[in-house]
Structure 1
Amino acid sequence: MSIIIMDPLGLAPKIQEALESVYDPELKPANIVDLGLVYEIITKEGGIAKTVMTLTAPGCPVAGEIMDEVQRKVAAIDGVNESLVELTFDPPWNRDMMSEEAKLELGFL
């Protein structure tokens, strides 16, 4: 699944790079981008960056930790003045959303 990008500020490559350093501890070594957990990267005037993402399950025990890490890492990017994280379960995550690399790393292929 590819990430929807709306990026008038041109920050999406840096944001995606930051998100590739965030991991779901239950599914290491694959990062949240390769797992297909990031649905959208949106930037807006004023340095606002919004990440729309999901979790592998609604009851994920580390949900708060993952979302806090996403918020912090995106906020640390030059040009980002405010980092927002929106959680959605529409569409619900499934293994088909993972990159081939993530499936290989986790032994799903």
Structure 2
Amino acid sequence: MSDTYMEKFVEGSDNPAPGDENTGANTIRDRAIDVLKEIYDPEIPVNIYELGLIYGVDTDEDTGKIDITMTLTSPMCPVADSMPGEIEEKLRAMDGVNDVTVDLVWEPAWDMSLLSDAAKLEMGML
């Protein structure tokens, strides 16, 4: 994973910002994001994608590889040991996926500014 993954996320790249709707879900990337939106933080009633925990979703359509760069709300999060494995398992179950890597990072630290508008609405912050 490149050192510029967060720069790409912040500046906007091919990766849509959390909250962008993916219609069609034809690519591995689109389908992976749909899967991530079905995984919820155990302490906050918002999915991990809208919560801003996903810093990067890199895919290779030819090889079926998915690389996820993510964080958690805190290093003391009770699912720090299990969440990456759950994500990997659910992504590996997708058609056309042959390899999944989930890289859990702590820098930059997660904060509330990473919440999507959908997450803020769900949490009553909008």
**TM-score using structure 1 length:** 0.85
Contact 1:35 1:99 in 2 (8 A): yes
Relative to structure 1, is the Cα distance of residues 38 and 5 closer, same or farther in structure 2, using a 3 angstrom cutoff?
A: farther
Structure 1 runs, 4 residues or longer, greater than 4 Å off: 1-6
Paired residue for 2:113?
A: 96
Q: SS of the residue aligned with 2:67?
A: strand
Q: How does 1:13-52 map to 2 (within 5 A)?
A: 13-28=30-45, 30-44=46-60, 45-52=62-69
Contact 2:71 2:110 in 1 (8 A): yes
Paired residue for 2:85?
A: 68
Paired residue for 2:74?
A: 57
**d(CA) in 1 for partners of 2:120, 2:43:** 14
Alignment of 1:77 with 2:69, yes or no, is no
**TM-score using structure 2 length:** 0.74
C-alpha displacement of 1:33: 0.5
Greater strand content: 1
C-alpha displacement of 1:104: 1.9
Question: Which runs of 5 or more residues in structure 1 are unaligned?
Answer: none
**d(CA) in 2 for partners of 1:56, 1:71:** 19
Letter in 1 for 2:106: F
**d(CA) in 1 for partners of 2:74, 2:40:** 15
Q: How many positions carry a matched residue from both structures? A: 105
Contact 2:28 2:64 in 1 (8 A): no
The alignment yields a C-alpha RMSD, in angstroms, of: 2.0
- What percent identity do the matched residue pairs reach? 38
Deviations 1:54-103 (A, max 9, x none): 00011111122221211111111111111110011221110010011211
Question: Which runs of 5 or more residues in structure 2 are unaligned?
Answer: 1-8, 16-26
